[in-house]
Amino acid sequence: MMRSESRALQLNDDGQLKHFLTLDGLDKTILTEILDRADSFLTMGEQSVKKVPLLRGKTVVNLFFENSTRTRTTFELAAKRLSADVINLNIETSATSKGESLLDTLQNLQAMQSDMFVVRHSDSGAAHFIAEHCTPNVAIINAGDGRHAHPTQAMLDMLTIRRHKGQFEGLKVAIVGDILHSRVARSQLQALTTLGVDEVRLVGPKTLVPGFFSEMGAKICHDLEAGLKDVDVVVMLRLQKERMQGALLPSESEFYRLYGLTEESLSWAKPDAIVMHPGPINRGVEISSEVADGGHSVILNQVTNGIAVRMAVMSMAMSGQLQKAETDQGSEGEK
């Protein structure tokens, strides 16, 4: 899908978010608005009543065709803090496993007057497909699709970086590991370049960091020391073993020896560098426990920030859908 088509699918006529499918095609203004709104939600976790009525009376369906307890839980918590009603659909026991098509399932859910689908799917482009085929008044949030995109994960990472570093300009960021199979890395790269970081380095073996990523604005590094030299942010990725085909790695121990983040290899980064990981962590494969639990790690901050970012995206998309509906009704009335 072209950037212009992606933008048109995600934004209403006033340029407000109505779906959140990918960061491709979204500009700095929209991404900054998401971060600013998420910032305003962060303090809610400290309050005795952790709810606002922005989605009161709305029904959010977590439509997960691929397991992810943490992502589903944070989306559920975000929706409930916005006062929405939440349905968690267990796809393994639903009619889709009995031969019912995805479109049939969507039509049944739409008949229940659902207002938002949070979709996670192993096929790239699944969230776009659903957005193109669902009724116009349902907002679609992509919670990860194949190797394609994971936009809310990227935005919670951006919020984490901004809260620790203050700004994006001038920063050097290293993303280390299985870039080839990572939807997180693709979305992070799009977000970082849009928000104006100085340099993004993609670090890993040639089998997992192909050269074509340089066309997306990244610097490719196959040596860990060169990749981490003087960076401000280190993002370690989980080895996507379930998405690998063929012998792309000699062994996990060999990967850790060459590309694992240890206290020694972290010393190549700036002294105040922060360490991030989208989770779940494979300790002793991508990162040592000393680093994961150490003073540079902001991994638990990412989890907290994830709830705020998902609240921001869901509230913005619902607001954009409501404004679109009002505009459509006005147009019908003028006829």
Structure tokens at 327: 């505009």
Do 209 and 83 sit in the same domain of this protein? Answer: no
Q: Could you tell me if 49 and 93 lie in one domain?
A: yes
The answer to the question of residue 173 being in a domain is: yes
Task: Check whether residue 139 and residue 158 sit in a common domain.
Answer: no
Decide if 309 contacts 152 (C-beta within 8 A). yes
Structural domain count of the chain: 2
Residues 79, 8, single domain; the answer is: yes
184 and 245 share one domain: yes
pLDDT interval class at 93 (50, 70, 90): low
Residue 195 located in a structural domain: yes
Structural domain contains residue 117: yes
Once rounded to an integer, what is the mean pLDDT over residues 87-108?
A: 70
Is the distance from CB of 300 to CB of 40 less than 8 angstroms?
A: no
Q: Is residue 170 part of a domain?
A: yes
Summarize the annotated binding site for L-aspartate as residue ranges.
Answer: 98, 183, 238
Q: Who wins on pLDDT, 251 or 10?
A: 10
The amino acid occupying position 310 is R
Q: Do 178 and 199 belong together in one domain? A: yes
Average pLDDT over residues 140-169: 96
Helix (H) or strand (E) holding 306: helix 299-334
Contact 5, 170 (CB under 8 A): no
1 band by pLDDT with thresholds 50, 70 and 90: low
In a shared domain, residues 98 and 216: no
Is there a single domain that holds both residue 249 and residue 133? Answer: no
One domain, residues 175 and 114: no
Using an 8 Å Cβ cutoff, are 192 and 186 in contact? no
Euclidean distance between CA atoms 28 and 35, whole angstroms = 10
Q: How confident is the model at residue 47 (pLDDT cuts 50, 70, 90)?
A: confident
Residue 254: domain span: 151-298
**Terminal-residue alpha carbon distance, the chain:** 33
**Neighbouring residues of 324: CB distance < 8 A, sequence distance ≥ 6:** 12, 13, 18, 136, 137
Q: Are residues 187 and 263 in the same domain?
A: yes
3-state DSSP of 223-284: CHHHHHCCCCEEEECCCCHHHCCCCCCCCHHHHHHHHCECHHHHCCCCCCCEEECCCCCCEC
Q: Is it the case that residue 132 has pLDDT exceeding 80? A: yes
Q: Binding site: residue ranges?
A: 70-71, 98, 120, 150, 153, 183, 238, 279-280
Q: What percent of the chain is modeled with pLDDT above 70?
A: 89
Binding-site residue positions for carbamoyl phosphate:
70-71, 120, 150, 153, 279-280
Residue 334 lies in a domain: no
Token pair for residue 228?
A: 């981490």
CATH of the domain at 166: 3.40.50.1370
One domain for residues 128 and 221: no
> What span, in angstroms and rounded, lies between the C-alpha atoms of 294 and 275?
9
pLDDT on residue 96: 56
More confident of the two residues 50 and 153: 153
223 lies in some domain: yes
* One domain, residues 187 and 89: no
Kindly report, residue by residue over 270-317, the tens digit of the pLDDT. Answer: 999 999 999 889 999 999 999 999 999 999 999 999 999 999 999 999
Does a structural domain hold residue 331? no
Calculate mean pLDDT across residues 113-135.
91
Q: Rounded mean pLDDT of the chain?
A: 89
329 in any annotated domain: no
> How is 165-205 classified by DSSP, letter by letter?
HS-SBT-EEEEES--TT-HHHHHHHHHHHHHTBSEEEEES-
Pick the closest to residue 141 from 155, 124, 122, 120 (CA basis): 120
pTM: predicted TM-score of the whole model, two decimal places: 0.91
